[in-house]
Structure 1
Amino acid sequence: MPAGGEPGEREQALARECAAAVGEYRSHLRSVEFRKAVQAMRRLCTLGNRYLEDRAPWNLVKEDREAGAMVLRTALNLVRIFALAAEPILPFTAQRVFDALQLTPDERKVPLQRCVDLSALAPGRQFQLIPPLFRRLEAAEVERLKARFGGRD
């Protein structure tokens, strides 16, 4: 886990947005509204994707190594949050991420209402790189699946 840089207002706003998305997700899970829960989980992931696109750590690290390190550390903490949130609906995938992040048994059991912590994985912490968790679907396959399952979003 890279050291350097301090989170700023953008990271604080991201944490608030993630907490709101996780709260919505938890509410839908408790109400057994799985389609809505998955939509809330997708919104949570979109927040992370947007953060990475906006901050572009692959460029930032060339200009400001400290800020780039902080953004990468934030991104890895987002991965932790996504895995904790996804665990109820994608348990095997979440376990692969937990293993890669080398989370302890206690770190794997953080309740959803407390999972949003963009500093949980501290600088210097070891982790493993893993191959993509999901394969990319080609357009033709997407169309076949839509036809088979009714084309619902």
Structure 2
Amino acid sequence: MAYLSWAESYVGQLRALAGDRTLLFVGARAVVRDETGRVLLIERSDNGHWAMPAGAMELGESIADCVIREVREESGLAATAVTPFAMYTGADRTHTNMFGHTYQLFTVAFRVDEWSGELVVPTEETTDARFCRPDEFPEPLSGSVIETLADLVAFERTGRLVLK
């Protein structure tokens, strides 16, 4: 799939039609770890925050295809095996972004179990990317990173999907 600009994306087209209404945003987030357990963080080009690869699902895509695409677009890495471990939903996940667009997020977090390739920096959506230990996470750090990693620990301990 070729890279789509925001205006060409499903969410971008829907936003153009809906105006200022709150929209439901379905997306995926990836935890990619290297062989030493460090976590991949990308520096977003839109707001400068460090986050995990993530983004919106496009029409015709599965949520697993979405996370695989987002990892490739934002890091250059090819995710070949993924496991869902958490779902974030509900009114408390409503967010207004820096452009004044409000979304209620429905996000599925995936653990990337297998991947290959080399990091690509920068990409269309990122200015930097690196694998980091939790005690060396760069700032500013997206608020979702710590919660997602804690939920992955809970999933790996219990084997139960985290629902929030």
More strand by proportion, 1 or 2?
Answer: 2
TM-score by length of 2: 0.28
| Structure with the larger helix share | 1
Larger Rg: 1
